[in-house]
């Protein structure tokens, strides 16, 4: 089966071997570049220490309190680590939350050695990524540390400067979500409640992490996992292809042709390898600011099969 129809007709085999969205790409946001650069440093140092799997806990302020911005950046870091140039095995933060609740542990940025070791055991990870946020004028400094879950010693550290854009300032203004480990028995929610369940198709699992409204755009992030023992070539339909992926509001209005990023690049075609989650992002532009809930129609192809995956009633994070 052909992978959809471009405006000018069906693409050939040679096109698919080199297909990217370079002509459609727009520069990544400042914080995205900073997060990805920090994730690359973390991934390299983690790998150099012989570690392969990590979990990202909620980032905090210097007093150990979880903030909305801390939760947002921790989620971004999780996606960046999973889809970076040196991808790691990253525990889904929603799954981590469930484990934390079951074992009555704290999973904020201030982690003592005993908690680090316990989290490592129950989550099955080699390292924990923690972070603290400090406002400085027009920026927010994110200080990252990576703890070995066996020894609780720091095996990697780096910083990132997050510019205070309007969206970032809005998250800062939402203030504190908790008061540190003593008052925060479980990890703050990384994604909104009511998210649709993961969808499995052709040996792949698609988990929609969040859809966020930022400055007139809706950005939907998901993780794609390969449940088989062989790599699977995945194609996601975005701008310039028909049928394109779409989102719909509660009145049935349709907003389509998103920019698609698979991994760290704005590619629409990537292999999904067993045991290595692939981060995916769809960005829909020029949407009204009164949206609260949307439904996502995701057009995908794996091998010769084409399918439209539906994620209904997705709450928007602002």
Q: For residues 274 and 181, which has the higher predicted lDDT (pLDDT)?
A: 274
Contacts of 304 (CB under 8 A, 6+ apart): 1
Segment 182-195 mean pLDDT = 42
Say yes or no to pLDDT of 192 above 50. no
- Within the chain, residue ranges assigned H as helices are 13-17, 30-48, 68-82, 93-103, 113-123, 166-173
Which H, E and C letters describe 151-172, residue by residue? Answer: CCCEEEEEEEEEECCHHHHHHH
Radius of gyration of the chain, Cα coordinates, nearest whole angstrom: 19
Q: Could you tell me if residue 1 is inside a domain?
A: no
Q: What is the mean pLDDT of residues 76-86?
A: 84
User: Per residue in 103-123, pLDDT tens?
Assistant: 666 554 456 677 778 878 888
**β partners of residue 9:** 6
pLDDT interval class at 184 (50, 70, 90): very low
Place of tokens 């975005």: 238
Domain span holding position 169: 30-173
31 vs 8, higher pLDDT: 31
The C-alpha atoms of residue 213 and residue 216 are separated, in whole angstroms, by 7
Question: Which of these, 297, 242, 282, lies nearest to 2 by C-alpha position?
Answer: 242
Q: Is residue 244 part of a domain?
A: yes
For residue 167, being part of any structural domain is answered with: yes
As given in the structure block, the two tokens for residue 91 are 């525990």
8 A C-beta contact, residue 54 and residue 48: no
Residues 158 and 55 in one domain: yes
Output the pTM of the full model: 0.51
**Residue that has been written with the tokens 């209904």 in this structure:** 312
Instruction: Tell me, yes or no, whether 188 lies in a domain.
Output: no
* Pick from 62-71, 77-86, 152-161, 186-195: least confident: 186-195
Instruction: Tell me what pLDDT residue 52 has.
Output: 86
Asked if residue 57 lies in contact with residue 111, where contact means CB atoms within 8 angstroms, the answer is yes
CA distances from 151 to 52, 123, 126, 185, 200 (A): 16, 16, 10, 23, 37
Q: Is residue 303 part of a domain?
A: yes
Give the mean pLDDT of 265-271.
83
Q: How many domains does the chain have?
A: 2
Claim to verify: residue 169 and residue 201 sit in the same structural domain: no
Whether residue 159 is contained in a domain is answered as yes
Cα diameter, the chain: 61
Domain of 69, CATH number, reads 3.40.50.10610
Nearest-angstrom CA–CA distance, 48 and 119 = 22
What is the CA angle 109-114-116, rounded to 5? 40
Output the CA torsion 207→247→195→218 (10° steps).
90
Q: Give me the DSSP letters along 209-230.
A: EEEEEETTEEEEEEEEEE-SSS
Residues 108 and 166 in one domain: yes
* 61 and 131 both lie in a single domain: yes
Q: Hey, what are 104's tokens?
A: 């009555």
Tell me, what's the pLDDT at 136?
A: 81
Q: How far apart are CA 150 and CA 140, in angstroms?
A: 31
**162 & 209 share domain:** no
């Amino acid at each position: 089966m052909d992978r959809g129809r471009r405006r000018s007709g069906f693409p050939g085999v040679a096109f698919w071997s080199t297909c990217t969205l370079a002509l459609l790409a727009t520069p990544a946001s400042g914080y995205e570049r900073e997060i990805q650069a920090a994730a690359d440093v973390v991934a390299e140092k983690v790998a150099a220490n012989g570690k392969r799997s990590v979990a990202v806990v909620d980032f905090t302020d210097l007093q150990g309190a979880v903030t909305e911005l801390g939760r947002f950046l921790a989620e971004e870091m999780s996606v960046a680590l999973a889809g970076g140039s040196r991808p790691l095995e990253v525990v889904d933060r929603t799954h981590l939350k469930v484990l934390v609740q079951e074992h009555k542990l704290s999973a904020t940025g201030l982690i003592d050695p005993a908690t680090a070791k316990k989290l490592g055991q129950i989550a099955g990870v080699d390292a924990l990524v923690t972070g603290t946020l400090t406002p400085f004028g027009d920026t927010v400094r994110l200080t990252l540390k990576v703890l070995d879950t066996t020894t609780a010693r720091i095996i990697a550290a780096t910083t990132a400067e997050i510019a205070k854009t309007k969206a970032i300032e809005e998250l800062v203004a939402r203030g504190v979500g908790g008061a540190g480990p003593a008052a925060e028995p479980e990890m703050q929610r990384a994604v909104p409640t009511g998210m649709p369940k993961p969808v499995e198709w052709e040996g792949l699992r698609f988990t929609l992490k969040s859809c966020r409204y930022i400055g007139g755009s809706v950005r939907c992030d998901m993780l794609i996992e390969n449940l088989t023992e062989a790599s699977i070539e995945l194609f996601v339909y975005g701008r310039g292809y028909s049928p394109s992926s779409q989102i719909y509001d509660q009145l049935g209005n349709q907003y389509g042709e998103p920019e698609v990023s698979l991994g760290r690049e704005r590619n629409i075609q990537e292999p999904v390898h067993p045991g290595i989650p692939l981060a995916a992002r769809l960005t829909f532009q020029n949407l009204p600011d009164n949206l609260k809930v949307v439904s996502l129609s995701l057009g995908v192809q794996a091998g010769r099969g084409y399918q439209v995956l539906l994620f209904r009633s997705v709450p928007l994070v602002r």
